[in-house]
Amino acid sequence: MLMVPTFDADSRVKLTAAAAPREESRNAFEKEYGGTGYAAIEDLCADPSVEAIYIATPHQMHVDHVLAAARAGKHILVEKPLAISMEDADKMVAAVREAGVHMIVGPSHSFDPPVDLAAQLIESGEFGQLRMIQALNYTDFLYRPRRPEELRTEEGGGVLFSQAIHQIDVVRRLAGGMAKNIYAMTGAWDPKRPTEGAFTALMNFETGCIANLTYSGYAHFDSDIWMNDVGELGQRKQPGAYGGARRALMDLDPEEEARLKTTRTFGGGKTVDAKHNEHFGPVIALCDRADLKLTPDGIEVFGDTERSFIEAKFGPAPRRTVIDALVAAVREDEPPVQTGEWGLASLEVCHAILQSADTGQPVELQRQYRTKHREGTQ
């Protein structure tokens, strides 16, 4: 549902077919777009009208669906995280490479126009070397409706695989991708939601940049207050909405909660009316001659002697940069920044956070991947 406004607003994309096990979703798709709804992904992959497949299934299903799409010679846009296990991620990257198709991992918030703009400013060297990044986010993630497996870490549940991956992608995008090691702690503080709901981590990069990442999904402080009251999806926050996530789950059993989750799927959910670019909480990049504060509308530059603002334009589609990457891959054979190898590298960091939190020791990273615009640099 989060990609629907972008698909609808971007004339470069036409939705011609879909696959879903729920008949309600298939019927809703056919009614809305006039395409074909399939019950099995294999039938979708066999459809000659399909050039690329967007895989938005639960994390644990990504590997089977990516392999099916790759075998059929379809380009792929797969939701983050790439997979749950590194072994599955390796299979997916190998299958795509063997098939000669492109795979884009996202949308993650590394696609956000302010992030892309900040990355370009850092790469230009205009403000000197990037020294440190601070990324913070406090949300109600853990108290949004969840299926049972979304509260089990071993099945990709909790904040690490669904939320940390955003912060990791953003920080890696800004710092050039090549993280060296990470030291982290996690928090699992609600017995009724028995998975990680918070973490904090310190990561360093081959460039010498250090990054601090902190996230809490326990639905208390809301860091959108620091983002001009603009929500993660670019929507204006509604006054009086505080505490709504926890209130909605009060006295629900797991089956009722799972049913509530289906109201957020195609055919049952509502799209978001975004007026600003998306974001993932406050991010500040500290360079030699300026600190760059990312906002939903652009970059606040705090220089040596003056402040300025550089706009990151919004629209015409909320996630136009994702479609930019998809079109470039399909039409121009241009690999995206967020390739399968990129997604695998970010997944490695998720696992390293869990490992470091368990052992109390820093973890050396072995599978990192340089951002495209830094290839060939030292």
Q: Is there a single domain that holds both residue 238 and residue 351?
A: yes
Which own/partner contact pairs does 86-90 have at CB distance under 8 Å and 24+ positions apart?
A: 86/344, 86/347, 86/348, 86/351, 86/367, 88/62, 88/63, 89/63, 89/340, 89/343, 89/344, 89/347, 90/344
Question: What string of DSSP letters covers 216-274?
Answer: E-SSSS-GGGGGTTB-TTSPBPPTT-TTHHHHHHTT--HHHHHHHHHTTSTTT------
Question: By residue range, what is the domain housing residue 35?
Answer: 4-105
Q: Is there a single domain that holds both residue 124 and residue 63?
A: no
Domain boundary among 41, 73, 105: 105
Specify if 208 maps to a domain. yes
Q: Is there a single domain that holds both residue 119 and residue 214?
A: yes
Specify if 319 maps to a domain. no
CB atoms within 10 A of CB 14: 11
Q: Is there a single domain that holds both residue 131 and residue 152?
A: yes
Q: Is there a single domain that holds both residue 203 and residue 120?
A: yes
Q: Is the pLDDT of residue 377 over 60?
A: no
CB atoms within 10 A of CB 139: 24
- Residues 31-56 have a mean pLDDT of 96
Q: What is the pTM of this model?
A: 0.93
Going by pLDDT thresholds of 50, 70 and 90, the confidence category of residue 221 is very high
Q: Is there a single domain that holds both residue 74 and residue 117?
A: no
Specify if 269 maps to a domain. yes
Q: Is there a single domain that holds both residue 209 and residue 278?
A: yes
Into how many domains does the chain fold? 2
Pairing of strands 298-303, 283-287: unpaired
- The reply to whether omega before 194 is within 30° of 0 (cis) is no
pLDDT at residue 302 in the model:
98
Q: Is the pLDDT of residue 268 over 90?
A: no
Residue bearing tokens 């603002």: 309
Q: Is there a single domain that holds both residue 148 and residue 86?
A: no
CB atoms within 10 A of CB 236: 14
Specify if 321 maps to a domain. no
Domain boundary among 76, 105, 134: 105
Specify if 258 maps to a domain. yes
Q: Is there a single domain that holds both residue 168 and residue 273?
A: yes
pLDDT digit string, tens, across residues 88-106: 999 999 999 999 999 999 9
Q: Is there a single domain that holds both residue 277 and residue 154?
A: yes
How many C-alpha atoms does 289 have within 13 Å on its Cβ side? 10
Q: How far apart are CA 240 and CA 79, in angstroms?
A: 31
Hey, what are 33's tokens? 């777009």
Domain boundary among 57, 74, 105: 105
Q: Is there a single domain that holds both residue 45 and residue 186?
A: no
Q: Is there a single domain that holds both residue 181 and residue 50?
A: no
pLDDT at residue 253 in the model:
77
Specify if 325 maps to a domain. no
- Residues 66-77 have a mean pLDDT of 98
Pairing of strands 210-216, 283-287: unpaired
Specify if 212 maps to a domain. yes
Residue bearing tokens 């990355």: 119
Distances (CA, A) of 210 to 111, 159, 175, 218, 304: 21, 22, 9, 26, 21
pLDDT at residue 371 in the model:
81
Q: Is the pLDDT of residue 374 over 50?
A: no
Q: DSSP letter at 191?
A: T
CATH number for the domain that contains residue 35: 3.40.50.720
pLDDT at residue 271 in the model:
75
Amino acid found at 151: L
Pairing of strands 298-303, 307-311: antiparallel
Specify if 58 maps to a domain. yes
Going by pLDDT thresholds of 50, 70 and 90, the confidence category of residue 59 is very high
8 Å CB contact between 353 and 184: yes
8 Å CB contact between 10 and 33: no
Of 349, 347, 324, the closest CA to residue 337 belongs to 324
